[in-house]
A = this chain, B = another copy of it.
Amino acid sequence: MTPSEFKQWGYRFVDWISNYLEHSDQYPVLSNAKPGDIRKRLPSKAPQNPEPFDAVLADLDGIIAPGLTHWNHPSFFAYFPTTGSEPGILGEMVTAALNVNGMLWRTSPAATELEEVVLDWLRELLGLPTGYKGLIFDTASMSTFHALAAARECLTDKSVRDDGLYDAPRLRLYASEQAHSSVEKSAMALGLGRRGLVHIATDAEFRMDVRALEQAIEADLRNGYRPIAVVATIGTTSTTSIDPVARIADICARFGLWLHVDAAYAGTAAIVPELRQILDGCERADSFVTNPHKWLLTPVDLSAFYCRRPDALRNAFSLTPDYLRTPEGDSVTNAMDYTLQLGRRFRAMKFWMVIRHYGVSGLQTHIREHIRLARMFASFVESDNRFELLAPVPFSTVCFRLRGGDGDTQQLIDRVNASGKVFISHTTLKGKLAARLAIGNLRSREEHVRAAWKLIAAQS
């Protein structure tokens, strides 16, 4: 494809995207595809000869788009929504075109330094102190995995990187029973095992019970385990509850444990001054993760990771073969020294464009509005005595159910999702099935939330 052909096709794709973004609600939000539907419409072998791009665009329209669940649909209220924002899409275009690999500073200085700059911007907006080293990962799962690998390396009294875990004391991690599954997956991957993670009970509002944490640590110490880290969550996945980080930090300080804060979803809300207190205590964390690709209008994937003990991270992961040694030495950050992955996309570009386009004020407005809408939806639930709320609503996610019980609530969720007009998810809270409505897509406005409630109330 010549540059001028690219120009023509680029315009066509920009038109396609513009039209898609304007009319993403023309599709069912939750795909009604059956398993295999898409596969059977695609050829089983790669084309031997070049195909015209018209054919590609036709298949995008005819096969792929109808087979997707539309995360950009304004009534996508499942999981934690994301936004393919326009400036973010422009950023991804540039990233793909530049196509640099930022594994070393030298292999693209601007990629490394722009990453440092935008992560510093975000750190300051969150009210976190200086002294944190920022790194972009693809997902919060990887950010948390790296945090716990660093904790494993520096709190084991031996070199895990060299000798492995065999002779190590039995290590223990702690997180609330509401913590994200990535904590448990990290324990599995790191060789600590699922039993290496202790699930701490939560209170009536799904926050970690600090006294139970303390008791668990003390019991483990008595039994010969080696506690190494606590993962506190700001905005748990099910109910967006907020663990008492300051009190957890006290315990970590007392026992010498690594404190990692998983604020993947809710952390970015702290850019709003009146919400900054949600991060109280996080300034004492050893590491912290929040995902601009969730609520901060940045296309997937971009997870912002901060670490106050970068040497521990480096001890866990640095390994430089001859062919990657460069003359800059320690005057620069070579990202590969801190990460399991070697290859590194230029992810900072899209985030930079998002922040500049919306400005801090625009991002704040967006967060505030979603919280307002969630409270509005919660008030609808409260005002209808067929329903009940199952958890507080500190952010933009509402957990609710029909008082009738699990069967009725399941039927409600299924009917709503089968409508193709609204997509909500579910969770289980204290043994009860809950419907879960999360607001986080830029294109979700008051009318969509009101319509969702209308549909839900009518299906019940």
Contacts and interface: CB of A to CB of B under 8 A. Distances in A.
A35 to B, nearest CB: 5
Interface in A82-135: 82-101, 105-111, 113-114, 116-118, 120-122, 124-125
A316 to B, nearest CB: 7
A370 to B, nearest CB: 17
A45 interface: yes
A430 to B, nearest CB: 12
Contact of A357 (B53, B64, B238): B53
A355 B45 CA distance: 11
A242 interface: no
A101 B79 contact: yes
Given A49-B359, A49-B361, A121-B46, A300 B35 contact: no
Contact of A47 (B3, B170, B355): B355
Interface centre among A4, A341, A428 (most CB of B within 10 A): A341
Given A30-B106, A182-B342, 19 more contacts: A3-B21, A17-B94, A20-B97, A39-B117, A44-B120, A47-B360, A56-B352, A64-B110, A65-B98, A65-B110, A68-B108, A71-B101, A71-B108, A88-B96, A139-B341, A142-B341, A164-B192, A293-B343, A323-B428
Contacts of A141: 340-343
Interface stretch (A193-201, A204-212, A280-288): A193-201
A54 to B, nearest CB: 11
Interface string A1-40: 1011111011101111111111000000011010111110
**What is the copy number of this chain in the assembly?**
2
Contacts of A253: none
15 contacts: A1-B85, A5-B86, A7-B15, A10-B90, A33-B110, A47-B356, A47-B359, A70-B98, A88-B96, A89-B97, A91-B96, A162-B195, A164-B193, A181-B320, A189-B340
A195 B163 contact: yes
A16 to B, nearest CB: 8
Chain A interface, >50% SS class? helix
Given A164-B193, A300-B343, A68 B360 contact: no
A372 interface: no
A17 B97 contact: yes
Given A188-B317, A319-B185, A427-B322, A35 B110 contact: no
Q: Which 4 A-B pairs have the closest CB atoms?
A: A191-B191, A164-B193, A67-B110, A84-B99
A330 B414 CA distance: 19
A109 to B, nearest CB: 4
Contacts of A65: 98, 110
B99 A299 contact: yes
Interface centre among A88, A162, A180 (most CB of B within 10 A): A162
A46 B238 contact: no
Interface string A341-359: 1110100011011011111
* Interface residue tally on A, bucketed by range: 35 or more
B13 A110 contact: no
Contacts of A113: 36-39, 42, 67
A274 to B, nearest CB: 16
A163 B68 contact: no
A384 to B, nearest CB: 24
A27 to B, nearest CB: 11
B101 A300 contact: yes
Contact of A17 (B6, B159, B323, B332): B6
